[in-house]
Amino acid sequence: MIQQPRSDRGQAFPIYIMMVAGLLFLALAFFAVGKASALRNGSQGAADAAALAAAQQARDDFGTGFYASLPGNTLDIFLGAPFVPPCSEAERLANANEADMTLCVPSYGYLRDTITVKVKGRDPVDSPVLPGSESKFAKAEATALIEFRCPNPKAIDANSDGVQDLFIFTCRNGKILKIAPGSPPPWKSVSTTLFDVRLVDQ
């Protein structure tokens, strides 16, 4: 009696199913990692924009106090004084970038102040292959520096009456500013020369 060769098709089918399931799991895992990375980048962009916006608004708000410090030559006191960080501006930029601001704090120092902002993204990772990912949100932090770059101004008392009539600022970027406290120029025309605003590593 001749035996018929046994078919391997029945044995191969479960292996095929396992391979397909494994590949599907890997595809979903790669997708989850990619989504998490994209969400993280988006949150970092929101944090950067929020911190810069707050620092730039703070610089814009310095004008009144800065000019008020000049006649009495109290610039050092002004530069060392704390300020209220404009966190509403940071929050506005975070919202515009689909994130929620969770922290906005200043750090004070002579000639150098910083504003640190933390944000949380609004979209969860939400992957079927990552348990708990439906409640995982991307978080990011950024710090912006506000640096006075025109130290040691030269004060001139033209009338010898004890009141400084002119301040000459020689700045690190090579620019020279002349500011008369009695008739100061519009703040926006000089603020970007006097103060540098940029992101810094944490």
141 is a domain residue: yes
Residues spanned by the domain of 23: 12-147
Please name the residues in contact with 140: beta carbons below 8 A apart, sequence gap of 6 or more.
40, 43, 44, 46, 47, 99, 118, 119, 121
Least confident piece of the model among 92-101, 109-118, 150-159: 150-159
Contact at 8 Å (CB) between 184 and 177?
no
Centroid of chain to Cα 26: 34
72 is a domain residue: yes
38 is a domain residue: yes
Please name the residues in contact with 174: beta carbons below 8 A apart, sequence gap of 6 or more.
none
48 is a domain residue: yes
Instruction: Map residue 118 onto helix, strand or coil.
Output: strand
Burial of residue 101, with CB atoms counted within 10 A of its CB: 0-12 exposed, 13-18 middle, 19 or more buried: buried
Least confident piece of the model among 46-55, 98-107, 148-157: 148-157
Least confident piece of the model among 14-23, 143-152, 168-177: 14-23
pLDDT of 17 above 60: yes
117 is a domain residue: yes
Least confident piece of the model among 76-85, 90-99, 128-137, 175-184: 128-137
pLDDT of 166 above 80: yes
pLDDT of 3: 55
How many domains are contained in the chain?
Answer: 1
Average pLDDT over residues 105-126: 90
Separation CA 169–CA 181 (nearest Å): 13
Q: What pTM did the predictor assign?
A: 0.79
